[in-house]
Amino acid sequence: MSLERFSFNQATAKYWPLPDLVAGCAAAGVPAVGLWREPVAEYGLARSAALVRDAGLSVSSLCRGGFFGADGWFDDNRRAIDEAVALGAPVLVLVCGGLAGRPLEGARGQVAAALEALAPHALAAGVRLAIEPMHPMFAADRSVVATLGGALALATRFPVEAVGVALDTYHVWWDEQVYPLIAAGGERIACLQLADWVLPLPADVLVGRGLPGAGCVEFGRFLRATTAAGYTGPIEVEVFNADLWARPGQEVLRDTIAAFRTVTTEAAAPLTGECQP
Amino acid sequence: MSLERFSFNQATAKYWPLPDLVAGCAAAGVPAVGLWREPVAEYGLARSAALVRDAGLSVSSLCRGGFFGADGWFDDNRRAIDEAVALGAPVLVLVCGGLAGRPLEGARGQVAAALEALAPHALAAGVRLAIEPMHPMFAADRSVVATLGGALALATRFPVEAVGVALDTYHVWWDEQVYPLIAAGGERIACLQLADWVLPLPADVLVGRGLPGAGCVEFGRFLRATTAAGYTGPIEVEVFNADLWARPGQEVLRDTIAAFRTVTTEAAAPLTGECQP
C-alpha cells in the first residue's frame, strides 16, 4: 500500500517536538497525523492547528477524551471536543476509564451516561466520538470497555455519525468475536490503529507494544476484514514502546513507515492458508 | 459459607511439600485439594494418591493437560487423564496452549482437533476435561482460548460429561459477556477457581494474582451467578503469587481459608446496589 491511508500517531514518537514531527511527516510524504491533547496544549492549540495545516497534513484523530470516573469529566470532554474542532480532527478517541472504586456494571453504566451527555455536543461540533475497547489487562485501571462487542453495544445507542469505535489491533487481536463483529459493525469504525503484541510483556505493560510486524498480530487478516466491512479511512500506527521513545523521532518515523508498508503489502497479497479471514 | 465447598489448590502454596500440605489441610478441616501434575510426579503418583486418600481428602481437580501446540501433546494428555484417574480427580484442567507460531485460527482449530482426539478417552476414564479460558494477556503464549464464550463454543461440541470449562475469576472477571454465558452454560462448569485481580501488575504477570478479596473481582456476584446456573461443586482457591509463595505453607493456607470465608460470606449476603447480578 502507498502511504495514502497512513497516519503517524504522535504517541509513537512521544518525545519528538511537534514542529519537528510535523516537518518530518511532511517531508516523508505522510498525509496525516494523530495528535494527543497534552503535547498540543504544550505547543498551543491554535499554534498546533496552524502548524499542521500549513504543512499540508490532516489530523486523523485526537487522543483522548474519556476517563468518565474522574472528577470534572464532563467539562474536560467538552473541551476535548472543542480542541478536535480547532485541529480539524474528525474523531476524538475515548479511553473510557477503569473501575475507580465502582463495581464493573456501575462503571460501565457511567460510560453510557457520559456518552448520552456528550453525544449532542459531538454531533453539533461534527466530531465523532470513538470508544476504544482496550485490552482486558487494562479493564480495572483504564477502560472498563474491554472488547469490540462492549464498545459496539455502547456506540449503537447513538447516531452513527456521533459515536463510533477506535479499533487498535493491540487491544483486540486475541478476541474470538472480533472478526464477526468487524463484519457486522464496520460502519462504526471511526479510527483504526495498528500496534503489535510482542512478548515478553515488560514490567510496565502499558509501554510494551511493538511496531506492526514485530509480534503476532495478523495484520493482513485484520486489514482485509476492516476493508471488507467498508472502512476506507486513515490507518494510524500508534505504538507505546519505551525503547522506541528513547530513539530520535526521525528514526522512529522511518521505521514506522517501513512497518506500515510491510504489513499493508501483506494485506494486499492473495489470501493464503490459515490466515484467510 | 462453611468450608464444605472449599478446595485448596496446591499452586497457592507452590513450595509446600505435598505431605505437609495434605496434613495441613486435613487438620484445618479442608475437605479437598486441587493438585498439579509436577509435584505429584515428584512425590510419586501412587504415593500421592494414597497420601490424600488416607488423609480423608478428595481431589477436586488435576492441573493440567493441554498445550496442544507442543510435540507429544496426545500422549502427554492421555497420561494426564490416567493420572487424574489414579488420584480420584474427576476433572482435568486444560490450558490449551498459545500460538506456537501458528495463526490464531489454526491454533484454535488444533484445540478443537485435540479435544476430538481426547474426549473418548476422558469419557471412558470418567474424567471430565475442563477447558480453561485464560486472560487475553496470555493468548499468545498460554491459551488461545481467551474467553468463556470461546471455551463454551469448544466444549459444547462434546457430551457434557466429557468436556466442560474451568472458570477462574482472575481470567474472566472483566468480560462483558461472562454473566449471560454463566447463566446459559452453567452445566458446563466443571471447575471453579477463585483468584483476585490486583494492581499494579508485576513484572511477571503470571505470578501477580491476589487472594480473593485483595483486588477488584466481585466474588459475591460471581458466586451467586454460578450457583444460580446450577454449579454446586468445589470452589478452589488458586493464586499464583510470588510473595505468597515465599511464605510458609501453613500461613498461606490460613490466609487462604480466611479469604475464602470472607468472599463466600459476602456471596451469601443480601444482594445490594450495583453489584446485583
Q: Is the ipTM above a cut-off of 0.95?
A: no
Q: Mean per-residue pLDDT for A180-206?
A: 95
pLDDT at A272 over 60: no
Instruction: Specify the higher pLDDT residue, B119 or A206.
Output: B119
Cβ atoms of A55 and A25 within 8 Å: the answer is yes
Q: Does the structural domain B6-275 have CATH classification 3.20.20.150?
A: yes
User: How far, CA to CA in Å, does A96 sit from each of A109, A143, A152, B145?
Assistant: 11, 5, 13, 26
Q: Which residues of B touch A201 (CB under 8 A)?
A: 137, 205
Cis before A47 (ω within 30)? no
Judged against a pLDDT cut of 60, whether residue A225 lies above it is answered with: yes
Asked if the C-beta of B64 comes within 8 angstroms of chain A's C-beta atoms, the answer is no
Asked if B176's CB is within 8 angstroms of A146's CB, the reply is: yes
Test B218 with A103 for CB contact under 8 angstroms: yes
Q: What is the pLDDT of residue B1?
A: 74
Cβ within 8 Å, pair A274-B199: no
Residues from chain A that touch B112, judged by Cβ atoms under 8 A, are none
To the nearest 10°, the Cα dihedral for A145, A147, A148, A152?
Answer: -40
Regions in chain B scoring below 70 on pLDDT: 266-277
Scanning every residue of chain B, which has its alpha carbon at the shortest distance from the alpha carbon of A216?
Answer: B140
How high does pLDDT run on average in chain A? 95
At residue A205 the predicted structure's pLDDT band, cuts being 50, 70 and 90, is confident
Q: What pLDDT, on a 0 to 100 scale, did the predictor assign at position B270?
A: 44
- Facing residue for B139 by CB, picked from A105, A174, A218: A174
Whether A54 has a pLDDT exceeding 80, the answer reads yes
CB contact under 8 A, A173 and B104: yes
pLDDT in tens, A155-167: 999 999 999 999 9
For B167, the enclosing helix (H) or strand (E) is strand B163-168
Q: Which pLDDT does position A98 carry in this prediction?
A: 97
Q: State mean pLDDT over A20-48.
A: 98
* C-beta atoms of B199 and A141 within 8 A: yes
- Domain residue ranges in chain A: 6-275
Lowest mean pLDDT across A34-38, A45-49, A198-202, A214-218: A198-202
For residue A176, give how far its alpha carbon lies from the nearest alpha carbon of chain B (Å).
6
Long-range Cβ pairs for the range B174-177 (8 Å, 24+): B174/A104, B174/A136, B174/A139, B174/A140, B174/A144, B174/A146, B175/A136, B175/A146, B175/A147, B175/B147, B175/B148, B175/B149, B176/A108, B176/A146, B176/A147, B176/A149, B176/A150, B176/A153, B177/A147, B177/A149, B177/B147, B177/B148, B177/B149
Q: What is the pLDDT of residue A267?
A: 61
Mutation site for B-interface testing, chosen from A135, A154, A216 by largest number of B Cβ within 10 Å: A216
- Is B167 in contact with B226 (CB distance < 8 Å)? yes
**Comparison of pLDDT for A276 and A252, the residue scoring more:** A252
Mutating which of A96, A99, A102, A104 best tests the B interface, going by the most B Cβ atoms within 10 A? A104
pLDDT score, position A268? 57
Does position A15 have pLDDT exceeding 60, yes or no?
A: yes
Shortest distance, CA A240 to any CA of chain B (angstroms): 16
Q: Which residues of A, range 156-195, sit inside 8 Å of B by Cβ?
A: 173-177
pLDDT in tens, A89-122: 999 999 999 999 999 999 999 999 999 999 999 9
Length of chain A: 277
Residue of A nearest to B272 (CA): A103
| Cβ proximity of B118 and B81 under 8 Å | yes
Distance CA B62, CA A205 (A): 31
The per-residue pLDDT for B267 is 61
CA distance B78 to chain A (A): 28
